[in-house]
Structure 1
Amino acid sequence: MASCLGCCCAPCKPRYRRLVDAIYPEQPDQGLVKANMQKLTFYACSHPEKLDRIGDYLVSRLSRDLYRLRLGLVKVSVEAMDQLLQSCHGSLSLNLFVESFLKMVQKLLETNDPELEMLATESFVNFANIEEDTPSYHRRYDFFISKFSSMCHRRTADRALSRRLRFAGLRGLRGVVWKTVSDDLQANIWEKQHMEKIVPSILYNMHDKDLDVNDVGDESDSCALGAGAVDGEQTATDSGSPKALSDQCLRELMGKASFGSMRSVLQPVLRHCDLHNLWIPPAEYAISSFRAIMYSIQTQYSYVVIQALIGHLDERGDADATTRIGIASVLSAIVPIAGTSIGPSLLEIFNSLLRHLRSSVEFQLSDACPSAEKEKLYQETLINAMGDFANSLPDYQKVEIMMFTIGKVPALNEESMKRSDAFLQHVLVKTLLKVATKYRTGYLATVLTSSFLGPLLKLAHVDDAKVRLLTQQILHTLIDRHANLAQLQHVGCVSDVAELQLTVEKSSRADQMFMKKNMHAILSTLYRSATSGGGVNSQANMDAILCTLSLLCVEVGFDEVLVELFRLVFGLQTSALDHTVRITAQNRARIHNLVAKYLNLSSQLLAIPALCQHIQQVIKSRSQRAHPALDLSSGQPADDGSGLETIEALRMDDDASLLFDKAAVADALRASGKDVTRLSMPFAAKATPDSLLVGGSAAHTVTDGGSASLDMSVDSSPGMSRDVSRRNTVFTAGPR
């Protein structure tokens, strides 16, 4: 009777159930009955209203087979569901079928059987690649995010199995991102609770080297990939490398992030680096991760990443110096990638970096600082970051940055400063120099505006000799337009100027106007720099002043500037001979040598025989009869003058042949056709740089010797290009 009942019930089953039953083989290991599967597929496509029932029935069969451990039949159910998804993805009833499909995948993942977990992951990834034609309003993936994230951290005794499970977990997370981001009606994948699971799972596999012993080079190779390198799933799948796939996952995630969701991804990245001590220098992992992020996001969002790092630096302000150095190193590494996209928040970002610099300076000088050396290294890293930051900006914004920085230099108007302010002054001038080296000057007036030049000239004669040296170096890099700085930086008493291979061009009308307006301010500052602070200047300071004089001679050496430079050096010679001026004997010798080196260089550039003969004769006489500290016959003094105690030891007072004669120089210049009227006037430096910068109309410029007319016509064309400039060009003997 039971057999008869069975024979009667089978035909009574709905047709879709009979079709589903037919796809299962008699023996579990025989696999899916393909012919019957084709019939089921045709029926599902022809009767889409039955699709949800087919899905429910397949799930019930799978649940029963799982309970009875018939794994072969479980795989048949999974394969059948996959094929139906592929064939019926355009059906209006697909949403209900997908619910059954996700229920099936969840049941497989809940078994905690590695093989079934990987089978479920493969099925889910296939589903994620399907573009659904009908929207879903209520589908959620919370369970899958949690499960795939846990698989990404799986560790087992079998290293190969652990590797496969992690790889499967990453693929699953990648599938969730694809499926949710592609449909705005899906659950919001960018919510905090989701990102705090997805992002750490990805990052963990990027830096965990326990399982990726064969992945050497993955990290460095991934840094070279751009935002377009997100379609390489096949490569990562073939290699089975969790590290390579995690890098791709991070890039894809950042590439899909909008402006509003960017921070929800960045915060877990920052927290992950904190928890795993990944900021510790050289911070290779943190740098590679943030480079991958910068290459993946939309260019206009680059500043958001920089702001997030700076904000994290704010939060970790009390952290160990090594951590802060690591964060600053990451900033330095990614700023060039951002390029000009950081323009909208330029001053805000730079102000934040300067604020951190000031805080570090104050902390270094406090008793709470455990290591001044580490704090100094942190400051150097910040300064380098700011230099790299400025290098990625257009020139006009570099000028803004320099003006902004010099405005932050403390207590320029005060005679005495606190120790912290003095130290900060030194650090900020180093920062200013770093930015200045990234700027290429076109016209001097463009960068050396009155609001920038005034404070800069003040810095050139402060008490701190290191600050004075750095300020001169800033002037060097801004004045030098023809790559002459390398040859003039430590120029000696050269016997043939042609050996220096200098590039000399006629200065533009705009530069001539600038020098006529600001020339005496600059030269007065150079005079005060050489003689201020009791004349305590190292040889490096004197070389820097000589370099500035030489660059002015080469870059803007028209007649009026040349005459004023001669006035300045004769003024320096007079001060070195004056017993009433507070200058040490050693520094008097250095001033005499500075004057000799400059006159030797400029006379050869002018190519006036009488002038060259006079200069060479004085230099020769000094080598024979003066103190060895003044012997420049070999290019540099034979003695550093460290043993000099009195001015009389220089043997200059009673022998006029050891001094350069202003009258002889004036006669030589006059014979060459130059106006030397002002050369007879003694050089007198003004008291403060502020009073030297003439404001208002530029119709004329008042100097210490009267007024000089100023041509208001401006040559708007830039100077000749470096490619066609004349090397070893000497100044013409006649008027320009």
Structure 2
Amino acid sequence: MNQIIPSIIFNMKVPNQNRTQDLSITTVSPEHVIITTEILTENDLNILANTILKDLFCRVHVNDIPTCIKPVLNHLDLHELWTVVDFPKYIFSEIMNSVNHYNSYKIIDLLLDHLEVYSEKKDILRMKTCIMQVIHVCLIFAATNTGVGSTIFTGITRLIKCLEKSFHNESRRSKASVYIQDEQQFQGAVIDGIREFTEKLKDYQIMEVMHIIIITSPILNQNNENKKNHLSDVNLKFQLLLLKTMQKVATTYQTKRNDGTTSTQTTFPHQLFDPLIELMSTSVVEIRLIILEILILLIDKRHYADKIRKIRIPKDISQLNLSAATKTSHLVDMPFMKKYRERFLHQLYNCILMNNNTKDIFYTIYCLMNIVTLEVNDQDILVDIIHFCFEIQSALSTTINEDYKKVSKINCNCIHALIAAYFNLMSRLYGIEAFSAHVDEVIQSRELSAPHLLPPNAFQSTTKENSSKSLSMECLFSEKIVIDALKLSHYDISRFERIIHKSG
């Protein structure tokens, strides 16, 4: 094989774009072999070589695949053909189309072995990117034509490790190094490969890829954030890179999912949700924002986010086109949210009171609160989030809780405005008239004496209003009035007795 396969590849050429490529597998039996004395043209040699290669890999046993693939890799290495990207892509496309589909994972495995060898070589980074582009093609083929199993997911884990090694190599290089751009190109190739691979997967398989990514990301030591050294900065940057990759995968998941009856309980495993929910209250603002965005992508089945991301108090909520959300009960998601709501609201409590929150984070928190309410569409969940809002208002209004005296005045204003917007939307959307009337009264009071507690004023960094003076009760929402309004509309008000945030 060490001589035969290189000879076959030597005579192969990438077909012209205008020529239809026959991807069918051709096998040649001995009785159909014709020996000719005519001189073969270059095109004849190309066709013959292509046929022989496909026939060879069509017949090869899984145990013999390494024996056949290694001469291919060696030939591409020896003649530096990896950088002629179309050619190795063409060769491996032919091989993947020829080998028994359930053995295609073996091809990817051998390519990953080869990539890992190149990961140790610092001066041929371009070659590494080209190999990754070939792996990309093979991954797409495997996802489309075979049943994706644990072996392929192991390949994703190996790719993430290559990505991490590349990232750390980049961090050790001088900023002026010519190799930094090559490392970044390789990183982009890996991320694109993973993203496009997931586009071909089923929902639960996409979740598996996301789980692989999240458990690979470095765990930040929240207790020693003031002791960051160069290595921890690198880990932080790498974690952001992984989470952005995860965000792209989540975007793929949302784009593919058009069926509103898909159960989050079955497609959203706790192994994925647990680390996501824990990272909601991480001290790193960039990570916090991405985690919130990922949660929105995973929960937002009906694509409400664009309609309710901006914090505002519309006079007519019908313009948001959300009325249909209250007509269909998403029973498939109720067990899921009821199982996790206590931890979710506890972490959201910590998240919203972080002093380094930005305008974008407040917008994202508001969007997430609305989407959870609308998607689950359950009275108990609505009451829980209303209760959560009162817990937050109480934390901002009292001086007993020393932890949250550190929240800046501007952030306090933003949170008060966020709660007002949520109350305004939900009281009207669910037709709780007494609740809606109380919201109108508080908004009118704020318009007169505390406009900095309403959007958009609260989110303008140039806001000069000094809210150091104590707020009048008319500018705050009354828990008693809202509980009475909910009771009148037959909601379970006993849920207000639950403690959302446990200190310590």
Structure 1 match to 2:460: 641
Q: 1:653 aligns with which of 465, 470, 493?
A: 470
Matches for 1:585-664 after TM superposition, within 5 Å:
585-627=409-451, 630-632=453-455, 637-638=456-457, 640-643=459-462, 649-650=466-467, 653-664=470-481
Letter in 2 for 1:408: T
Greater RCO between the two (CA within 8 Å, min separation 6)? 2
Structure 2 match to 1:531: 353
Could you tell me how far apart the structure 1 residues matched to 2:490 and 2:152 are? 51
Structure 2 match to 1:195: 5
Asked whether the equivalents of residues 627 and 650 of structure 1 are also in contact (C-alpha less than 8 Å), the reply is no
Structure 2 match to 1:324: 128
Greater mean alpha carbon deviation, residues 286-295 or residues 592-601: 286-295
Structure 1 match to 2:291: 471
Question: Does 1:407 pair with 2:215?
Answer: yes
Instruction: Give the C-alpha shift of residue 621 in structure 1.
Output: 4.2
Could you tell me how far apart the structure 2 residues matched to 1:374 and 1:615 are? 56
Letter in 1 for 2:154: E
Asked whether the equivalents of residues 585 and 644 of structure 1 are also in contact (C-alpha less than 8 Å), the reply is no
Asked whether the equivalents of residues 302 and 338 of structure 1 are also in contact (C-alpha less than 8 Å), the reply is yes
Instruction: Give the C-alpha shift of residue 438 in structure 1.
Output: 4.5
Matches for 1:220-619 after TM superposition, within 5 Å:
221-222=20-21, 225-228=22-25, 240=43, 250-274=53-77, 279-280=82-83, 283-317=85-119, 318-319=121-122, 320-339=124-143, 340-367=146-173, 370=177, 371-411=179-219, 415-416=223-224, 418-439=232-253, 442-490=262-310, 492-502=312-322, 503-504=324-325, 505-508=328-331, 511-532=333-354, 535-578=355-398, 580=402, 581=404, 582-619=406-443
Could you tell me how far apart the structure 2 residues matched to 1:444 and 1:483 are? 15
**CA shift in 2, pair 1:639/1:296, >3 Å:** same
Letter in 1 for 2:439: I
String of CA shifts for 1:619-648, please: whole Å, max 9, x gaps: 3444454355x443xxxx157432358xx7
String of CA shifts for 1:218-237, please: whole Å, max 9, x gaps: 4xx43xx5335889xxxxx9
Instruction: Give the C-alpha shift of residue 314 in structure 1.
Output: 0.5
Structure 2 match to 1:78: none
Q: Which runs of 5+ in 2 are unaligned?
A: 29-39
Structure 1 match to 2:33: none
Could you tell me how far apart the structure 2 residues matched to 1:248 and 1:621 are? 81
Letter in 2 for 1:267: K
**CA shift in 2, pair 1:241/1:454, >3 Å:** same
Is the partner of 2:217 in helix, strand or coil? coil
**CA shift in 2, pair 1:650/1:217, >3 Å:** farther
Q: Count how many residue pairs are aligned between Structure 1 and Structure 2.
A: 469
Instruction: Give the C-alpha shift of residue 284 in structure 1.
Output: 4.0
String of CA shifts for 1:105-133, please: whole Å, max 9, x gaps: xxxxxxxxxxxxxxxxxxxxxxxxxxxxx
Letter in 2 for 1:410: P
Instruction: Give the C-alpha shift of residue 566 in structure 1.
Output: 0.5
Could you tell me how far apart the structure 1 residues matched to 2:338 and 2:242 are? 30
Asked whether the equivalents of residues 571 and 683 of structure 1 are also in contact (C-alpha less than 8 Å), the reply is yes
Asked whether the equivalents of residues 222 and 282 of structure 2 are also in contact (C-alpha less than 8 Å), the reply is no
TM-score (norm 2): 0.80
Query: In angstroms, what is the RMSD of aligned CA positions?
Result: 3.5
Asked whether the equivalents of residues 443 and 511 of structure 1 are also in contact (C-alpha less than 8 Å), the reply is yes
Letter in 1 for 2:159: L
Letter in 1 for 2:197: F
String of CA shifts for 1:287-314, please: whole Å, max 9, x gaps: 3443333233321122122112211211
Letter in 1 for 2:107: V
Could you tell me how far apart the structure 2 residues matched to 1:239 and 1:322 are? 30
String of CA shifts for 1:505-549, please: whole Å, max 9, x gaps: 2132x64333333211001111111113xx111222222211211
Asked whether the equivalents of residues 461 and 468 of structure 1 are also in contact (C-alpha less than 8 Å), the reply is yes
Asked whether the equivalents of residues 285 and 357 of structure 2 are also in contact (C-alpha less than 8 Å), the reply is yes
Could you tell me how far apart the structure 1 residues matched to 2:398 and 2:182 are? 46
Q: Which runs of 5+ in 1 are unaligned?
A: 1-190, 208-214, 232-236, 688-736
**CA shift in 2, pair 1:457/1:517, >3 Å:** same
Is the partner of 2:11 in helix, strand or coil? helix
Is the partner of 2:466 in helix, strand or coil? helix
Could you tell me how far apart the structure 1 residues matched to 2:421 and 2:81 are? 53
Could you tell me how far apart the structure 1 residues matched to 2:407 and 2:451 are? 17
Is the partner of 2:216 in helix, strand or coil? coil
Asked whether the equivalents of residues 204 and 268 of structure 2 are also in contact (C-alpha less than 8 Å), the reply is no
Instruction: Give the C-alpha shift of residue 243 in structure 1.
Output: 6.3
Letter in 2 for 1:566: I
Greater mean alpha carbon deviation, residues 297-306 or residues 559-568: 297-306
Could you tell me how far apart the structure 2 residues matched to 1:195 and 1:379 are? 31
Asked whether the equivalents of residues 549 and 565 of structure 1 are also in contact (C-alpha less than 8 Å), the reply is yes
Instruction: Give the C-alpha shift of residue 461 in structure 1.
Output: 1.3
Asked whether the equivalents of residues 279 and 288 of structure 2 are also in contact (C-alpha less than 8 Å), the reply is yes
Asked whether the equivalents of residues 379 and 491 of structure 2 are also in contact (C-alpha less than 8 Å), the reply is yes
Instruction: Give the C-alpha shift of residue 554 in structure 1.
Output: 0.7
**CA shift in 2, pair 1:618/1:328, >3 Å:** farther
Structure 2 match to 1:104: none
Higher helix share: 2
Could you tell me how far apart the structure 1 residues matched to 2:363 and 2:477 are? 20
Could you tell me how far apart the structure 2 residues matched to 1:623 and 1:246 are? 80
Letter in 2 for 1:455: P
Letter in 2 for 1:331: I
String of CA shifts for 1:406-454, please: whole Å, max 9, x gaps: 3323235653362233223223323333444444593333344444333
Asked whether the equivalents of residues 568 and 683 of structure 1 are also in contact (C-alpha less than 8 Å), the reply is yes
Could you tell me how far apart the structure 2 residues matched to 1:682 and 1:622 are? 28
Could you tell me how far apart the structure 2 residues matched to 1:525 and 1:448 are? 18
Identity among equivalent pairs (%): 25
Asked whether the equivalents of residues 200 and 269 of structure 1 are also in contact (C-alpha less than 8 Å), the reply is no
Matches for 1:209-220 after TM superposition, within 5 Å:
215-218=16-19
Could you tell me how far apart the structure 1 residues matched to 2:86 and 2:501 are? 56
Matches for 1:99-248 after TM superposition, within 5 Å:
191-202=1-12, 205-206=13-14, 215-218=16-19, 221-222=20-21, 225-228=22-25, 240=43
Asked whether the equivalents of residues 220 and 236 of structure 2 are also in contact (C-alpha less than 8 Å), the reply is no
